[in-house]
């Protein structure tokens, strides 16, 4: 779609996207019983997507819709394959429960996210993390901090950690360059772990840990369904392939896991497709209704008069919290490439600008449930296992109160 057509897009076409976000925020409260039905969610996604689809088809513009559907397919295959494969791995023994163990498990997830991605680490660890805390499912802060640490902040150090960084690698950013982001990573991750630890200690002081430990958490550490580790490797390898080989690899890992994993292992994990259906249905609508917003961002990006790290950090981040952070990253990456060259360059981008763009795209994904792929998935899994989670707007408020001061500190120190 050329720039002239993009600029002529009516701003009213953004209404379905924001309407869907509002619906995700308020319908679970106002229409709880209806919201629990996948048919209602599907009707909502399709109904709000219809005006966007109709507009582009009327204009004879198939390409934007095709691009969005292709991205959706890649997204849901990645989420789905990791969900199914991790559901075939059962980790025996207690990995958490106390303030120290729970904090250690989050720290482990934050490190692991750089090796198998934030989505992979989230899907692998969320079940044992919840299982270790079954005695206190009413404490919403555990799913909250799991999303903040494992599903987002942790994956800032390698291109495998988060999709925007992987796109940067494909655009010429050296694989090891993201290690330059370690000070930013540590400046956000460590305070999050400290806050979580003292929150846990406060709750322990008010309500000591139960003396009777669930039988499944008394066993020695063990791992069932080890064959799924091979499928994890297949998923990671597939990410380096071009489409459609990438999607075929993801689908193959999903299918092999379903065929070769014992039903008993999945039963121990309380595995169900319900959380995956919820995410698949809602994100179908999100990807389609988001299409005009992404096109508008691409069109107005070059006109933004920014040439210093702070605006790049905050603009990239704020938009990444609600739009797909991968194309948002690419928009500002391209904008930075067009600026006059000053100082050290990485992939034709000033290094300090690239640090700001990369940090913003990854870190701000934690601000909302739709900011990064695993966020909503973690919430859905926690909901399915009876844990209390925050609603869309409540999560937004808590995440902002915790994260924005840390981001302001990072912005002040490093840029």
Question: What pLDDT sits at residue 5?
Answer: 66
Identify whether the C-beta of residue 153 lies closer than 8 Å to the C-beta of residue 165: no
CA-CA distance, 374 to 390, in Å (whole number)? Answer: 15
CA dihedral (340, 361, 112, 139) positive or negative = positive
Identify whether the C-beta of residue 380 lies closer than 8 Å to the C-beta of residue 334: no
CA-CA distance, 3 to 296, in Å (whole number)? Answer: 9
What's the token pair of residue 16?
A: 């379905």
Residue with tokens 């690698």: 169
pLDDT per residue of the chain (415 residues) written in tens, 0 to 9: 565 566 678 889 999 999 998 998 889 888 888 988 999 999 999 999 999 999 999 888 888 999 899 989 988 998 899 889 988 988 876 666 789 999 999 999 999 999 888 988 998 899 889 988 888 778 899 999 999 999 999 999 999 888 899 888 878 899 899 999 999 999 999 999 999 999 999 988 887 655 555 555 555 678 899 999 999 899 989 988 888 999 999 999 999 999 999 999 999 888 889 889 988 999 899 989 989 988 887 777 667 778 899 999 999 999 999 887 888 888 888 888 878 777 789 888 999 999 999 999 999 999 999 888 899 889 999 998 899 999 999 999 999 999 999 999 999 999 8
Dihedral angle over CA of 314, 318, 319, 322, nearest 10: 160
Question: What pLDDT sits at residue 146?
Answer: 98
Question: What pLDDT sits at residue 205?
Answer: 84
CA-CA distance, 271 to 280, in Å (whole number)? Answer: 16
Identify whether the C-beta of residue 339 lies closer than 8 Å to the C-beta of residue 350: yes
CA-CA distance, 342 to 395, in Å (whole number)? Answer: 40
Question: What pLDDT sits at residue 6?
Answer: 67
Identify whether the C-beta of residue 151 lies closer than 8 Å to the C-beta of residue 372: yes
Domain of residue 387, residue span: 3-414
What is the pTM for the complete model shown?
0.85
Q: How many CA atoms lie within 13 A of 331 on its CB side?
A: 28
CA-CA distance, 67 to 292, in Å (whole number)? Answer: 12
Number of domains observed in the structure of the chain = 1
């Amino acid at each position: 779609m050329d720039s002239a057509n993009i600029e002529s897009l009516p701003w009213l076409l953004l209404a379905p996207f924001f309407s869907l976000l509002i619906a995700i925020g308020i319908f679970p409260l106002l229409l709880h019983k209806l919201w629990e039905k996948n048919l209602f969610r599907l009707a909502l996604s399709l109904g709000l997507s219809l005006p966007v689809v109709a507009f582009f088809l009327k204009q004879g513009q198939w390409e934007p819709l095709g691009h969005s559907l292709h991205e959706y397919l890649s997204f849901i295959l990645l989420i789905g394959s990791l969900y199914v494969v991790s559901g075939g791995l059962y980790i025996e023994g207690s990995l958490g429960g106390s303030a120290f163990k729970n904090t250690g498990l989050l720290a482990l997830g934050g490190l692991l996210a750089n090796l198998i991605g934030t989505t992979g680490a989230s899907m692998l660890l969320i079940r044992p993390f919840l299982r270790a805390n079954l005695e206190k499912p009413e404490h919403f802060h555990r799913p909250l901090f799991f999303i903040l640490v494992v599903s987002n902040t942790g994956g800032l150090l390698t291109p495998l950690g988060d999709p925007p960084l992987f796109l940067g690698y494909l655009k010429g950013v050296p694989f090891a360059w993201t290690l330059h982001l370690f000070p930013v990573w540590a400046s956000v991750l460590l305070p999050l772990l400290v806050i979580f630890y003292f929150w846990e200690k406060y709750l322990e002081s008010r309500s000591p840990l139960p003396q009777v430990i669930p039988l499944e958490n008394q066993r020695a550490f063990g791992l069932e369904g080890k064959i799924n580790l091979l499928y994890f490797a297949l998923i990671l390898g597939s990410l380096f392939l071009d489409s459609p080989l990438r999607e075929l690899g993801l689908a193959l890992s999903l299918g092999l896991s379903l065929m070769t994993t014992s039903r008993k292992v999945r039963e121990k994990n309380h595995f169900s497709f319900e959380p995956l259906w919820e995410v698949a249905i809602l994100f179908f609508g999100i990807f389609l209704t988001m299409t005009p917003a992404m096109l508008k961002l691409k069109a107005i990006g070059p006109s933004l008069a920014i040439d210093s790290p702070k605006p790049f950090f905050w603009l990239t981040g704020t938009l990444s919290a609600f739009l797909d952070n991968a194309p948002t990253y690419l928009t500002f990456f391209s904008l930075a490439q067009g600026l006059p060259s000053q100082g050290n360059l990485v992939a034709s981008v000033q290094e300090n600008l690239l640090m700001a763009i990369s940090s913003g795209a990854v870190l701000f994904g934690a601000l909302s449930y739709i900011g990064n792929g695993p966020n909503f998935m973690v919430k859905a899994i926690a909901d399915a296992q009876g844990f209390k989670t925050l609603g869309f707007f409540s999560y937004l408020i808590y995440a902002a109160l915790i994260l924005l001061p840390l981001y302001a500190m990072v912005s002040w120190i490093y840029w």
